[in-house]
Amino acid sequence: MIVGQSHFKSLAFRVTVTLVNYIGLVTVNFITAIVFLGGLHGLSSPLAIILLFVAIPEVSFYLVWFLPYRSRLQGHGPKPMPLSRGLRKSIFKRGLDHVPDVEQYIRKWHSNAHNDDIRQDNYKEWLLWALFDRDGDLGDDSAELDEYIQYAEEKGELKIKKGQGDAVPIRLTYDPVEMTHRSLTFYTLVGLADAITTVMFLAKGFKFYRQPRSTFFTTFPFRFKTLLSPNASPCAQLSYFHRPHTSSTHRPVIFLHGGGVGLAAYSQWLTSLPRDVGVLALEILPISSRISGPLPTTHELLSALAAILYKHDVKDAILIGHSFGTLLTSPMLQRPDIAGRIASIILADPVSLLLHLPDISYNLTRRAPRPGRPNDWQARFWASDPGMAHTLARRLCWHDFVLTTVVLGGDDSVVNADAVASYIYYGDVKYSRQDRRDWRTTPERWTGQEELALLYLEGKDHGHAFLSAEGMKSMTRVVEAYGALNQTWGARAVDMAKLEEGSESPPMLPPKSKPVDSIREMRILEASAKMESLSGRKRWF
């Protein structure tokens, strides 16, 4: 359901979700009322028997499975490789240089606390997590942290008082994993949606490539296609749907979905693509409202993806990522065996751009749904799914994902859409009302001839690019344009930035990355770091 700004749809969504997720509690209350009004004899009525039939497994599932499961997911995830002091300094300063408002930036990373409650020790506590990936005493890092605080004060023209305040910083890997219960009824509906999606894909020429059959017993809802499919994935970590590419005029598509119910949310759009266009649609089960194993590490995901691309000889493809799926863009481009197979990239509702801003973490884990913003309820619902909550808090090494038409909803309730749009358009995060008016016209002015472009969908929220009729039309138009084999991209300010800087070493790329000129999109990363040095404020296209 697309909630958007409809209060009626918001109410319907909240009522439906409450009834489905807490159906065990609802039925227990009804049974209690029956006993209270009619005594124990009331339990023999047909209604009471039906309610007992629902209540017993639901309550048992909550007590026997969910409570221990929630406790187990509180454990710490894998420890990322520590950053060098030089890299920490570079990440911190580069991030702070691309912040719309330093004061608000610090406040939101401290759960939107008042300035008087945020002291230097609070900020250092957050910096220990953000840059050092650790907790505890400051130790030998105290002097380095003082340097960062001084830079933040100078950049934001503010003063952070010494001492410890009442503010609580957001530190996802150390904070409790906040999740809400999902009922057996909910998982049954997810399993039904999964089955319908499978039938839709098979009818359109796709084949399902399963994980090892042993995973049938470790994934819920049970996926019988894991037992029945003769096609095995070349990697145990990922299952996927694949349709061979036979078109002589268009490129194949690689699709990475966002959080929610997996590929079910995108089935209508994916199956509408021409049948001769090859499609590789990966399944990321931990963010798909399922009980499954934890999300593999970034290295494991990339190795699995490389094996899949090699198996099906996917090359010269369009990479399309939505929401969570955009996070893998940067590490994929840093792998030569994967990057060499990608011709262009489309990011919808990207969370991989300006990832250092607090909006995503704050909006999904701290912010209460706002009055007049019904879609906030929907965003929090999906973010509080046990698998999604655990993935966000314990399985992501955020440094891996810091990052090429970008599709944005103007009213996105998860990412800071205006800041991302400004970053794409100008290379900075300083924008005005006039800029927003300019962005509204991008769907009409978009031609597909630029290496980096923006489609700003005014009035659309997170996910509407794939779930609304208007959004799907826009996405299809972009894919058709980028998928054409005769497509060329025009030169623009990216090349100007490279010439004016006179440097061949892109500061945002790791030393072992593929050479810049071997991939078009790598120049985008280079330009994003260099545009700030150009005189004046220039539009990128």
Q: Residue 440 pLDDT more than 90?
A: no
Report pLDDT digits (tens) over 144-181. 999 999 999 999 999 999 999 999 999 999 999 999 99
Question: pLDDT at position 469, please?
Answer: 64
Name the band, by pLDDT with cuts 50, 70 and 90, for residue 120.
very high
Question: pLDDT at position 100, please?
Answer: 85
Report pLDDT digits (tens) over 287-333. 999 999 999 999 999 999 999 999 999 999 999 999 899 898 888 98
User: Before 221, cis peptide (omega within 30)?
Assistant: yes
Question: pLDDT at position 166, please?
Answer: 96
Q: What is the DSSP pairing of strand 253-256 with strand 454-457? A: unpaired
DSSP letter, residue 71: H
Q: Residue 391 pLDDT more than 50?
A: yes
Name the band, by pLDDT with cuts 50, 70 and 90, for residue 3.
low
Angle at 105 between CA 86 and CA 393, to 5 degrees: 75
As annotated, the residues of the chain forming the CATH 3.40.50.1820 domain(s) are: 184-483
Closest to 307 (Cα-Cα) out of 277, 341, 334, 330: 341
**In the predicted model, what is the mean pLDDT of residues 68-72?**
96
- With left for phi above 0 and alpha for psi between -120 and 50, is residue 162 left, alpha or beta? beta
Question: pLDDT at position 505, please?
Answer: 34
Name the residue with higher pLDDT: 508 or 258: 258
Q: Which residues contact 492 (CB under 8 A, 6 or more apart)?
A: 450, 451, 452, 540, 541
Query: Which tokens belong to 412?
Result: 């996105």
Q: What is the average pLDDT score of the chain?
A: 81
Q: Is the dihedral of CA 90, 94, 97, 101 positive or negative?
A: negative
> How far is residue 265's CA from residue 445's CA, in Å, rounded to a whole number?
28
Question: pLDDT at position 291, please?
Answer: 96
Question: pLDDT at position 456, please?
Answer: 66
pTM: 0.78
Q: Residue 448 pLDDT more than 70?
A: no
Q: Residue 208 pLDDT more than 70?
A: yes
Token pair 């939505």 in the structure block, residue:
322
- SS3 at position 507: coil
Question: pLDDT at position 6, please?
Answer: 67
Dihedral of the CA atoms 108, 182, 412, 393 (nearest 10)?
40
**In the predicted model, what is the mean pLDDT of residues 78-107?**
89
Report pLDDT digits (tens) over 225-266. 999 999 999 999 999 999 999 999 999 999 999 999 999 999
Helices (H) and strands (E) in the chain, counts: 24, 8
Q: How many CB atoms lie within 10 A of CB 87?
A: 13
Q: Residue 521 pLDDT more than 70?
A: no
Report pLDDT digits (tens) over 337-377. 998 899 888 888 888 777 888 988 998 888 888 776 777 78
Name the band, by pLDDT with cuts 50, 70 and 90, for residue 380.
confident
Give 218-261 as a DSSP string: TSBS--HHHHH--PBPSSSS-EEEEE----SSB--EEEE--SSS
| Under 8 Å between Cβ of 339 and 333 | yes
Q: Residue 136 pLDDT more than 90?
A: no
Q: What is the DSSP pairing of strand 405-409 with strand 317-322? A: unpaired
> How far is residue 265's CA from residue 351's CA, in Å, rounded to a whole number?
18
Question: pLDDT at position 481, please?
Answer: 66
Question: pLDDT at position 497, please?
Answer: 32
**In the predicted model, what is the mean pLDDT of residues 383-398?**
91
> How far is residue 311's CA from residue 10's CA, in Å, rounded to a whole number?
44
Q: Residue 109 pLDDT more than 60?
A: yes
Name the band, by pLDDT with cuts 50, 70 and 90, for residue 424.
low
Name the band, by pLDDT with cuts 50, 70 and 90, for residue 524.
very low
Q: Residue 14 pLDDT more than 50?
A: yes
**Proportion of the chain above pLDDT 90, given as a percent:** 51
Name the band, by pLDDT with cuts 50, 70 and 90, for residue 438.
confident
Query: Which tokens belong to 30?
Result: 């009804």
Of 114-118, 253-257, 333-337, 434-438, the poorest mean pLDDT is in 434-438
Token pair 């890997």 in the structure block, residue:
173
| Under 8 Å between Cβ of 409 and 462 | yes
Token pair 């497994």 in the structure block, residue:
57
Question: pLDDT at position 493, please?
Answer: 33
Q: Which residues contact 184 (CB under 8 A, 6 or more apart)?
A: 57, 58, 61
**Proportion of the chain above pLDDT 70, given as a percent:** 74
Of 25-39, 198-212, 269-283, the poorest mean pLDDT is in 25-39
Query: Which tokens belong to 353?
Result: 């751009």
- With left for phi above 0 and alpha for psi between -120 and 50, is residue 133 left, alpha or beta? left
> Quick one: fold of 184-483?
Rossmann fold (3.40.50)
Question: pLDDT at position 398, please?
Answer: 74
For the chain, what's the residue count?
Answer: 541
Closest to 295 (Cα-Cα) out of 306, 307, 283, 280: 283
Closest to 286 (Cα-Cα) out of 320, 255, 256, 262: 262
Dihedral of the CA atoms 13, 15, 19, 20 (nearest 10)?
0
Q: How many CB atoms lie within 10 A of CB 335?
A: 18
Question: pLDDT at position 243, please?
Answer: 98
Q: Residue 412 pLDDT more than 70?
A: no
Lay out the sheet containing 279-283: strands in order across: 207-209, 239-243, 279-283, 253-256, 317-322, 342-348, 405-409, 454-457
Q: Residue 121 pLDDT more than 90?
A: yes
Name the band, by pLDDT with cuts 50, 70 and 90, for residue 224.
very high
Q: To 10 degrees, what angle do helices 184-203 and 46-60 make? A: 80
- Burial code (b: 16+ CB inside 10 Å, e: under 16) for 106-116 equals bbbbbbebebe
